[in-house]
């Protein structure tokens, strides 16, 4: 962390203040960096990945044996743990943060398929699209973002449309991003008619962590899917995808019809929390 900060001092205004901040907080930054290093070993990750795959197979067989994609979500985790998964045949990885994805992508083989699954600001669309093996942005949540992704895909992807999903806020939580369920048709109309350089693949949601066993958020997303297919029957001929389910609920999600699950901590271990010094540094950037 410290070296990254030092390399970028000159690019920020009032760099003398930034330098003073680093001088005063060097030990805290270094301690935070050390504490954020995962204690999980590559062998641990391989064992966990095998267990997750087995659980996916059990859930698949309960839901009609349809294919399910596992996205291994590696946010804040070191590259060596991703490489351990890759050695076991895992080719699809997900990241929540733009800068982390930009840094990690060149360090893994080009046949890796990257999914971006975090909130994407419009001004970061070009950074994301510039990654050659970006396969999917699962978190498109506005027409404005779609418009920017379409523009940069036209310029940077040599005629290869970028896969996207529309994120739907099915739980109605203010803390979650995504369009409202009643906005799905309007936004999808725009995606299908005005974004030729994007490939619309389906819908995505993040269910409430304390959802009841009948999973109302998953049901709401499936309702959105049915209404969308009624309005656009041509989508029935495509491999329409449903992305729902994370470490705590992916098996239930598959049983409800998910074709794409995003599993992080159950593979890579818990994510290290940022301390206040790191948060302050990020605010200064």
pLDDT digits (tens, 9 = 90+) for 247-260: 999 999 999 999 99
> Which of residues 69 and 283 earns the better pLDDT score?
69
Q: Are 166 and 204 in contact (CB under 8 A)?
A: yes
DSSP 217: H
Instruction: Compute CA distances 31 → 169, 201, 232, 275, whole Å.
Output: 37, 43, 54, 10
Cα torsion angle, 182, 186, 192, 198, sign: negative
pLDDT digits (tens, 9 = 90+) for 207-224: 888 888 899 999 999 999
Compute how many other C-beta atoms are within 10 angstroms of the C-beta atom of residue 91. Answer: 16
* Average pLDDT value for the chain: 87
Q: Are 28 and 2 in contact (CB under 8 A)?
A: no
Question: Residue 273: pLDDT band by 50, 70, 90 thresholds?
Answer: low
* pTM, rounded to two decimals: 0.82
pLDDT score of 37 more than 80: no
pLDDT digits (tens, 9 = 90+) for 113-143: 999 999 999 999 999 999 999 999 999 999 9
- The pLDDT assigned to 25 comes to 52
Using DSSP's 3-state secondary structure scheme, residue 126 falls into helix
- Of the candidates 169, 166, 165, the one whose C-alpha atom is nearest the C-alpha of residue 177 is 169
Chain-centre distance for alpha carbon 230: 28
Q: Are 247 and 269 in contact (CB under 8 A)?
A: no
Range of weakest confidence among 28-42, 160-174, 196-210: 28-42
């Amino acid at each position: 962390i410290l070296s990254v900060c030092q390399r970028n001092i000159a690019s920020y205004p009032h760099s003398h203040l930034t330098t003073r901040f680093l001088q005063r907080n060097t030990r805290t930054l270094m301690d935070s960096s050390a504490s954020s290093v995962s204690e999980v070993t590559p062998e641990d990750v391989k064992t966990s990945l095998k267990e997750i795959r087995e659980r996916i197979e059990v859930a698949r067989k309960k839901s009609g044996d349809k294919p399910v994609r596992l996205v291994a979500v590696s946010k804040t985790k070191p590259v060596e743990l991703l490489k351990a998964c890759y050695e076991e045949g895992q080719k699809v990885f997900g990241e929540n943060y733009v800068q982390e994805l930009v840094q990690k992508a060149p360090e893994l083989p080009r046949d890796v398929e990257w999914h971006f699954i975090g909130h994407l600001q419009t001004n970061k669309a070009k950074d994301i699209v510039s990654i050659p093996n970006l396969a999917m942005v699962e978190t498109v949540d506005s027409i404005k973002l779609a418009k920017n992704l379409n523009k940069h895909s036209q310029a940077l992807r040599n005629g290869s449309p970028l896969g996207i999903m529309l994120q739907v806020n099915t739980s109605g939580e203010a803390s979650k991003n995504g369009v409202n369920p009643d906005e799905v048709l309007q936004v999808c109309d725009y995606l299908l008619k005005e974004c030729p350089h994007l490939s619309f693949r389906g819908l995505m949601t993040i269910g409430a962590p304390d959802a009841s066993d009948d999973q109302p958020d998953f049901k709401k997303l499936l309702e959105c899917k049915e209404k969308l297919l009624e309005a656009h029957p041509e989508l029935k001929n495509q491999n329409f995808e449903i992305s729902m389910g994370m470490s705590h609920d992916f098996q239930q999600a598959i049983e409800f019809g998910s074709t794409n699950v995003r599993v992080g901590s159950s593979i890579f271990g818990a994510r290290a929390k940022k301390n206040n010094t790191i948060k302050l540094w990020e605010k200064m950037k």
